[in-house]
Amino acid sequence: MDYDILHGIVIEESEALSLSELCQICNVEVEWIMALVNEGIFEPAGTRPEDWFFSGVALRRVLVVRHLQRDLDVNLSGAALVLELLEERNALLAKINLY
């Protein structure tokens, strides 16, 4: 029986990723990330795209949006709404689990 060995890196929510690193990790184009920023899906640190840095939260959001678009053909506005609802749901579930 053959096994594939996978290697990965754990990226913390507080870790900063450059625009090129984010694109490489998610296998997406710079223009698509810029469209996500313009849609308000996340906000990079830095003033110009060359200086942008993204958190691990942005990485997670990129992956969710990519899946929403690929699997459900959701546009960016719809993806932004879905992300907001998912995060609200997760916050409510976290509050319930505290009690």
| Domains within the chain, CATH numbers bracketed | 17-98 (1.10.1660.10)
Q: What is the pLDDT of residues 46-74, one digit of tens each?
A: 999 999 999 988 999 999 999 999 999 99
Q: Any idea which residue has 């579930």 for tokens?
A: 93
pTM over 0.75: yes
Residue 84 has pLDDT above 80, yes or no: yes
Please report, for residues 41, 59, 71, the alpha-carbon distance to residue 34 in angstroms, rounded to integers and kept in the order given: 10, 13, 21
pLDDT over 80 at 23, yes or no: yes
